Structure 1
Amino acid sequence: MVRSIPLPSLLSTAPVEAPGEGASLPVPALDSAWWGLELWQWAGLGVLVVGAWLLGRGLEWLVMRVVDRATALTKSGWDDQLAASARGPLRYLLFVVLVATGLWALKLPPAAKQGVELAARSVGLAAMAWFLLRFVNLAARFVEQTVAREEQGGNVGRARGLRTQLAVLRRVIEVAVVLISASLLLLQFEAVRNVGVSLLASAGIAGLFIGLAAQKSISTLLAGIQLSITQPIRIGDTVIVENEWGWVEEITLTYVVVKVWDLRRLVIPMGHFLEKPFQNWSKVSPDIMGTAELYVDFRTDVPAVRAELKRVLDHESRGLWDGKVHALQVTDLSERTMKLRALVSASDAGKAFELRCIVREKLMAFLREQPHGLPRVRTEASLAESGDAPVTLRSGANVLATVPGE
């Protein structure tokens, strides 16, 4: 076998010793690229980002000036909310558009161009989510102000229904926007897509376990949506639930907060209002009637008490009586007393409670001044035929005392 030995190349970079000098080391060539980009491309990318940001802010200012003048010419308030929601997210959307437009001039490598486009899309998705969330909040606030004006105008039932639907719908939209935006952001990455495909492959078993574990949460969420549609209760309604009297203060997707009359808060799961009975005193209208019951003597002048009730309502009710209903009736008799019921009306349950207290106090003061107003205990003396027989004092069926005869 013949073995060939390569000859030294004339273009070899081996160090050459110069006369009178030591051996010199080879000088490596400078690499002008980092992460696949040349220095001029990095500089161009920086100029593009800064210029797109400044130009985007300028364009936003110009567009918002035009939009503000256009909205000032209309009477609708929805365009004002839309313009206010766009102030802020619009600059990021313009920034993304300008960056995507200027990428073609840099002639970036495919990997670098893909990374920049990924970052731009992420910023754009975040800006869109921010815009939608701001618009939902501002629109909800605008509707709440409109509802408050309707409530002051007397249409309380419709105002409470709109407020309840608005509260639940806003939370549903916010949750949906956040989930969809986060999903779109994550699905841009190849690793996340691979994980998603793997999860979809095993979705049968995973969905079964997740469904069993989240059964209560899902049913509560659906109950919240059902309650906002059917509206057995609304924000501001007067209810009696769990033997507590109060007002519905807040309705979420999972629970209801009831403000009790003594300022306590009762937190009740949403399903309770769909599965168990409760009292809603303002379902149709907040108007309500209240009663004040009094126990008086049999000889009480009932027409005089009725006239006193009318006088109290006209002059001493502190504006709590709505002027619709007033009545005084004898509702029951016992062996000792007669029961009177004063019936009055008020615009809501809170005023009705205070009015009942006033009526009860004033009528009791009136009865104390009457000779036969308050109940009295009557006794009966029965004398036997014989003069020396004892005298028995009775009160109804009860024997009070036995007095010896003469």
Structure 2
Amino acid sequence: MAGIVWDSWIGTVAAIGIALVAAAAAIGMVTLLTSLVSRKVEWVRDIARRSRRALLTTVTVVAVWIACATSQPAQADWWPSLSRIFLIATILAGSWLLGALVSFGFERLMVREEEERVGPDARRRRTQLLVIHRLVLVTIAVLALGTVLFTFPEMRAVGTSLLASAGIVSIIAGLAAQSILGNLIAGVQVAFTDAIRVGDVVVVEGEWGRVGEINLSYVVVYIWDERRLVVPCSYFTTTPIETWTRRSDKILGTVYMDLDWRVPMAEVRAEFERIVEASPFWDGRSSSALVTDSQGGFVTVRFVMSSKDSSDQWDLRCEVRERMMTWLQQTHPEALPRTRVSVEAGGTSD
């Protein structure tokens, strides 16, 4: 190695080769260390897997940058431009690595919350963690972009004056009135005011579904028939919505049947109780069968039943409706709704 002239292109190639070997050795040492530690701490293996590509990219860029800075390219007139490119690449790769580590940390927190909490409290915490996660990632991206811009002397003075000036607050406030930043602020408001949470059952725009994703600017509602309803976050702060899981997953459901006046309510009530008690979807809290209305030639019978969540409630209502209808057809057909017509015979004269 003593015969190599570093201030030459051969020396540059040799320096880059040595730098890559050193980078590979460093990565190998980190991999070996994480493998040993992961025998006692399982999550170390996961974080190493998640950040491997970002770490490899960052170490490689830095290694090549150092190799070029200590060899022939550093003597060239175009080195400042190349050095800036290396600096920008390092900033971007480091931001990627930081983002991967942050994402892993938030995912671990969400898994722990799901294990320790259930019901509405778990959904609230998960929603807040998701929004904070995205905010942190956006902040990392903005800071990385700002740092990249600050590498250019022309932008440094402008950027410093903007960040140091109190006028930036008024600029942000003015932009927040626009739809894009307005939705971003609404997304944070939705998450931390506990209006809706990931996993909540809601009725939005007449569609029944479950909140599947809460992003910074929009919410995705998973409709029961596998459609997806994408709604701006501002919708949930300005429009009344129906939620079935605000305080608890437990819910009451109703089935209405229009029947004939001759319906034997005692037998109907007994059959209804037998059906719900035999159903795996009933949680045992509440059930009742009452005549709630009578108009024209019909009476309205309301069946009320409880379930532990909306999914079971849907299945229970369908089961009760179908089995009561079949039972009435087989045992009391006279109770089924019918239309009566009275015909009066008219007199005739010769």
8 Å CA contact retained: 1:85, 1:131: no
Offset at 1:140?
A: 4.5
1:121 aligned residue = 87
CA–CA separation in structure 1 for the residues paired with 2:66 and 2:333: 96
Report if the CA contact (8 A) 1:56-1:92 is conserved: no
Residue number in structure 1 paired with 2:142: 179
Match of 1:401 among 341, 344, 350: 344
CA shift, 1:173, in A, is 2.0
Distance 1:166 1:209 in 2: 24
- Look up the match of 1:333: 294
1:360 aligns with one of 321, 337, 341: 321
Q: CA deviation at 1:46?
A: 3.2
Amino acid at match of 2:17: V
For structure 1, which runs of at least 5 residues remain unmatched after alignment?
1-37, 380-392, 394-399
Contact 2:12–2:67, Cα closer than 8 Å, also in 1: no
Deviations 1:188-247 (A, max 9, x none): 222332564798899979x76994597222221111111111121122221112222222
Task: After TM superposition, give the deviation of residue 93 of structure 1 in Å.
Answer: 4.7
TM-score (norm 2): 0.80
Match of 1:388 in 2: none
Paired amino acid for 1:241: V
Partner residue in 1 for 2:54: 89
Residues 227 and 401 from structure 1, CA distance in 2 versus in 1: closer, same or farther, beyond 3 angstroms?
same
Change over 3 Å in CA distance of 1:330–1:199 after alignment to 2: closer
The structural deviation recorded for 1:86 is 3.9
**1:150/1:156 contact within 8 Å kept:** no
Counterparts of 1:249 and 1:108, CA distance in 2: 53
Offset of 1:308 from its aligned partner? 0.8
- 1:239-318 residue pairs with structure 2 within 5 A? 239-315=202-278, 317=279
Of Structure 1 and Structure 2, which has the larger fraction of its residues in helix?
A: 2
Any conservation in 1 of the 2:8–2:72 contact (CA below 8 Å)? yes
What is the aligned counterpart of 1:351 among 309, 312, 327?
Answer: 312
CA distance in 2, matches of 1:49, 1:354: 66
TM-score by length of 1: 0.70
What's the offset of the Cα at 1:58? 0.9
Give a deviation string over 1:130-170, Cα, whole Å, max 9, x none. Answer: 1122223434544555566568xxx2323322332233223
Classify 1:110/1:198 alpha carbon distance in 2 versus 1 (closer, same or farther; 3 Å).
farther
Quote the Cα distance in structure 1 between the aligned partners of 2:253 and 2:347.
52
CA distance, structure 2, for counterparts of residue 209 and residue 292 of structure 1: 52
Larger RCO (CA within 8 A; separation ≥ 6): 2
| Superposition deviation, residue 107 in structure 1 | 12
1-structure distance, mates of 2:321, 2:227: 27
2:335 is matched with which residue? 373
Equivalent pair of 2:6/2:70 in contact (CA under 8 Å): no
Cα gap change, 1:277/1:198 in structure 2, threshold over 3 Å: closer, same or farther?
A: closer
Q: Which residue of 2 aligns with 1:237?
A: 200
Deviation at 1:343, TM superposition (A): 0.9
Decide which of 320, 324, 330 is 2:281's aligned counterpart.
Answer: 320
**AA in 2 matched with 1:341:** R
1:129 offset after TM fit, Å?
0.8
Distance 1:349 1:90 in 2: 45
For 2:76 and 2:7, locate their aligned partners in 1 and report how far apart those are by CA, in whole Å: 17
Count matched residues: 341
Query: Does the residue aligned with 1:293 lie in a helix, a strand or coil?
Result: strand
Q: Deviation string for 1:261-299 (max 9, x for gaps)? A: 343332222111111111001122222111112233444
Aligned to 1:16: none
Q: 1:80 to 1:231 in 2, by over 3 A?
A: farther
Please tell me the residue identity of whatever aligns with 2:304: L
Q: 1:159 to 1:210 in 2, by over 3 A?
A: closer
1:51 deviates by 0.9
Kindly state the Cα deviation for residue 64 of structure 1 after the two structures are TM-superposed. Answer: 2.0
Q: Secondary structure at the match of 2:335?
A: coil
Return the alpha-carbon distance in structure 1 between the equivalents of residues 145 and 172 of structure 2. Answer: 23
**CA distance in 2 between partners of 1:372 and 1:345 (Å):** 29
Q: SS state of the match for residue 287, structure 2?
A: strand
Query: Are the equivalent residues in 2 in contact too, given 1:297–1:372 (CA < 8 A)?
Result: yes
- Which residue identity does 1:84 align to in structure 2? R
Give ranges in structure 2 of 5+ residues lacking alignment: none
Which range moves more in the overlay, 86-95 or 217-226?
Answer: 86-95
